[in-house]
Amino acid sequence: MTARSVPIRRGAGYWWASYVAMLRWVLAQQKALFGMILFIQLVMGVGSVAMYRFYLGEVDSTTATYLVSGLPALAIIPVGFVMVPILVMQEKFRGTFDFTWSLPVPRLAPVAATFTVFTAIGLPVAALTTAVAAWQFDATIRLSWLVVLAALLSALTATSAGYGMAMAISEPRLTNLITNVVIFLVLLFSPIVIPIERFPEWAQAAHQAVPFYHMANLIRAGLTEGLATDVGASLAVLGAWAVGGWAAVAWVVGRRR
C-alpha cells in the first residue's frame, strides 16, 4: 500500500463515520439490555404516576401542575446515573470493555454513541410519563422550545456524570453502590416534585449547587407558566455542570491507553 492510499484518520468525515460505527456497535452488543432498560423506565415512569396518585389523592391544580412538571426530570436522571453505569459494568463483566476502547476510532465516539442511545430511550419515556401524569392529575401543561433545551441539557449532565464515574472507578461493585445511593437521595430528598422552599436552609443551599433541582426547575419552566423561579440561574448552573461533566469524561477517556 502506498502512502497516498493510506486513509486519513482525522477530520469531520472520519469522526462521523466512527460515531455511526460505534452507534451500531453499542446497539448490537447491548440490544437485550436496552429492551430491559426501556421496560424498566416505562414501569418506573408510569408507576411513579400511580404512586403519587395513591399517596396524594385529589390535589389543587397548582400542586398537580408542579408535580407533573417535575416528573420528566425523575425519568431522565436515572438513565444517566444508573443505566449508563450499568452498561459500562456489563461491558467490564463481559470482557468487551477493553476491546471497545482498542478500536481505531476517536476517543469520544463511543461516548457520543452511548449518549445518543440512552437519550433516545430516556426522553420518550419522560414525555410519556408526563402525558400520563397530566391526564391522571388533570394538569394543564404547555410546551415551549425551552423544554427541549432543558431535557437535552439534563440528559447531557446526567449521562456525563454516570459515564465519567463508571469509567473512573475500576471496581464495578463500587460504581453500583454509588449509583444506588445517588438515586435514593434524588428520589427522596431532592426538590424535584416538592418546592425547594419546604427544605431546610442548609438543604436549599446544597441543592442550589448540585444539578438535580436545576434540571427540574428548567424543565418546569418549559412546561408551565410562573411555577419556575430563577430560570437563568438554573440554566447557568446546569450548563456549567454539563460542560464540567463532559470535560471530566474527556479527561478520563483521554487517559486510557
Task: Give me the residue label for grid cell 414501569.
Answer: 43
pLDDT classification of 214: cutoffs 50, 70, 90: very high
18's enclosing H/E stretch is helix 12-29
Instruction: Specify the pLDDT at position 218.
Output: 93
What are the C-alpha distances in Å from 12 to residues 5, 19, 112? 19, 10, 14
Q: Which of 52-56, 85-89, 152-156, 250-254 has the highest mean pLDDT?
A: 152-156
pLDDT classification of 257: cutoffs 50, 70, 90: low
pLDDT classification of 256: cutoffs 50, 70, 90: low
Rounded Cα distance between 133 and 122, Å, is 16
Instruction: Specify the pLDDT at position 7.
Output: 54
Phi, psi (deg, nearest 5) at residue 113: -65, -40
pLDDT tens digit sequence for 124-149: 888 888 888 888 888 888 888 888 89
Instruction: Specify the pLDDT at position 5.
Output: 46
What are the C-alpha distances in Å from 141 to residues 45, 68, 84, 135, 227? 18, 8, 30, 10, 11
pLDDT tens digit sequence for 164-202: 888 888 777 788 788 888 877 777 788 888 888 889 999
Q: What is the largest CA-CA distance in the chain?
A: 75
Rounded Cα distance between 59 and 226, Å, is 18
Q: Which of 41-45, 54-58, 80-84 has the highest mean pLDDT?
A: 80-84
Q: Contact 22/109 with Cβ under 8 angstroms?
A: yes
Instruction: Specify the pLDDT at position 215.
Output: 93
Mean per-residue pLDDT of the chain:
82
Question: pTM for the complete prediction?
Answer: 0.85
Q: Contact 38/119 with Cβ under 8 angstroms?
A: no
Amino acid at 154: S
pLDDT classification of 121: cutoffs 50, 70, 90: confident
Q: Contact 133/223 with Cβ under 8 angstroms?
A: no
Instruction: Specify the pLDDT at position 6.
Output: 41
